[in-house]
């Protein structure tokens, strides 16, 4: 009997020991996991603090430039030549702020590229025009652009962002002045495959941005495309610009590399694939359509512009009326629907801010479409969501404007909406 009792007791003891061991192990695991989470959260907080300080620094510089040049205009309103130069400086500085804002948006989500034909040389010339007034006079900007570079199937906004980032990086690398050179060429895929085995296209467009600045050590060069990596002082750089350039290039199935030595400047080399069958731009293609658009614009189309910022609403009304449009305005989504209901037979295009009060721009547009299915809709937002891109792709929207937008962007978007089905 005693022997029979011993076996259950031994089993119970072993179970108790195993349970105790598992409890200790689990406690260690929970403690270890908790510790790892604490470390991870601490690192994230450090990254956020560093990023916030860097963004604040860059935006404060931009705002200071804008405020200073705006003050010059206010204080010297009769000096027309200076007014034009100061206004150009403000415009160029705003573009720098737009570039920084879009870097932040790019961090928040992975955007799909929206491909269309564009001219790489035109993008580089636009960059030169943008940066000439805001670069220090000690920096010379030069270009060597190959006229034989064909039209490309690219996302022009993203590629332009990459070019802007590289130019700003070149500027920062030349604190004592120097030269920035932008180049384009055609090159063969065969020539690239030794360095980039995945280069499958037969031909590529080569883009380079070179500076004569401080250059880079090998360890810096190897990390230059990492997110948050920067050699600048704390609060003086986000460490995002070059990582975003790398992302944009790879999204286009292209390749990027950098060559640099300390004291010898740096050159960033980009290779973007040319489609096998490259369409040529024919100036006659859109002449008839363009004439049709201009004819309709001269017929005084009516635009409904819904925006809750009275300053922006007043400015855009002046712009659109100056271009021959009749303009109706609304301050929120409910008012926009009401204005459309009363003028539904006149309104050709509705431009609505997505973040309208009472009723957001998209919902307001849906209500208008039930009243007039032929109404063209353009959605404006500081953050173009994946949903908005989907609506655009499906033809449920006729255009998207990303804030801050230039007057030329608004006019071009309206023209495309009128031209569309």
Please report, to the nearest 10 degrees, the dihedral formed by the alpha carbons of residues 303, 309, 314, 319 taken in order.
-60
pLDDT digits (tens, 9 = 90+) for 176-211: 999 999 999 999 999 898 889 888 889 999 999 999
- d(CA 95, CA 192) in angstroms, rounded, equals 34
CATH class of 287-419: alpha beta
**Cross-strand partners of 266:** 211, 260
Q: Is the pLDDT of residue 156 over 70?
A: yes
Q: Is the pLDDT of residue 383 over 90?
A: no
Q: Is the preceding omega at residue 404 within 30 degrees of 0, hence cis?
A: yes
In 3D space, the residue among 252, 246, 244, 258 whose CA is nearest the CA of residue 272 turns out to be 252
Q: What is the pLDDT of residue 99?
A: 65
Judge contact between 256 and 191, C-beta under 8 A: no
Q: Is the pLDDT of residue 103 over 70?
A: no
CATH topology of domain 116-273: Heat Shock Protein 90 (3.30.565)
Q: What is the pTM of this model?
A: 0.50
pLDDT digits (tens, 9 = 90+) for 20-76: 555 555 555 445 554 455 444 554 454 444 445 555 556 666 676 677 677 777 777
User: Which tokens hold the place of 239?
Assistant: 């460490």
pLDDT digits (tens, 9 = 90+) for 249-290: 988 899 999 999 999 999 999 999 987 644 333 333 334 334
- d(CA 246, CA 223) in angstroms, rounded, equals 12
Percent of the chain residues topping a pLDDT of 90: 28
352 CB contacts (<8 Å, ≥6 apart)?
304, 306, 333, 336, 361, 362, 364, 365, 377, 378, 379, 380
Q: What is the pLDDT of residue 386?
A: 65
Name the residue ranges covered by the structural domains of the chain: 116-273, 287-419
């Amino acid at each position: 009997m005693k022997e029979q009792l011993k076996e259950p007791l031994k089993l119970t003891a072993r179970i108790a020991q195993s349970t105790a061991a598992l409890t200790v192990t689990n406690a260690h695991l929970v403690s270890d996991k908790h510790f790892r989470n604490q470390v991870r959260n601490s690192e994230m907080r450090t990254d956020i603090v560093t990023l916030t300080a860097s963004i604040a620094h860059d935006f404060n510089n931009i705002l200071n430039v804008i405020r200073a040049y705006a003050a010059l205009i206010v204080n010297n309103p009769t000096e027309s030549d200076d007014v034009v130069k100061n206004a150009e400086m403000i415009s160029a500085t705003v573009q720098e702020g737009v570039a920084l804002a879009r870097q932040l948006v790019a961090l928040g989500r992975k955007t799909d590229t929206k491909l269309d034909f564009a001219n790489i040389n035109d993008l580089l010339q636009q960059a030169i025009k943008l940066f000439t007034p805001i670069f220090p006079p000690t920096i010379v900007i030069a270009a060597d652009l190959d006229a034989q570079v064909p039209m490309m199937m690219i996302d022009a906004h993203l590629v332009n962002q990459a070019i802007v980032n590289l130019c700003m990086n070149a500027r920062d690398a030349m604190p004592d002045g120097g030269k920035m050179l932008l180049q384009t060429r055609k090159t063969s895929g065969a020539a690239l495959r030794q360095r980039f085995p995945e280069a499958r296209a037969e031909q590529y467009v080569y883009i380079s941005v070179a500076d004569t600045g401080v250059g880079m050590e090998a360890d810096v060069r190897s990390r230059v495309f990492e997110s948050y990596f920067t050699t600048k002082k704390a609060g003086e750089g986000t460490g995002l610009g070059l990582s975003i350039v790398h992302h944009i290039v790879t999204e286009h199935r292209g390749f990027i590399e950098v060559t640099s030595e300390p004291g010898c400047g740096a050159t960033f080399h980009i290779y973007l694939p040319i489609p096998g069958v490259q369409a040529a731009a024919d100036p006659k293609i859109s002449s008839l359509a363009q004439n049709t658009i201009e004819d309709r614009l001269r017929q005084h189309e009516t635009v409904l512009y819904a925006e809750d910022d009275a300053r922006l609403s007043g400015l855009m009304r002046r712009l659109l009326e100056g271009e021959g449009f009749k303009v109706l305005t609304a301050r929120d989504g409910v008012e926009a629907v009401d204005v459309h209901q009363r003028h539904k037979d006149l309104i050709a295009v509705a431009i609505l801010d997505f973040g309208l009060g009472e009723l957001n721009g998209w919902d307001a547009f849906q209500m208008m479409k039930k009243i007039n299915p032929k109404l063209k809709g353009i959605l404006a937002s500081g953050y173009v969501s994946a949903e908005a891109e989907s609506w655009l792709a499906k033809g449920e929207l006729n255009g998207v404007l990303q804030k801050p937008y230039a007057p030329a962007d608004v006019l071009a978007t309206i023209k495309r909406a009128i031209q569309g089905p």
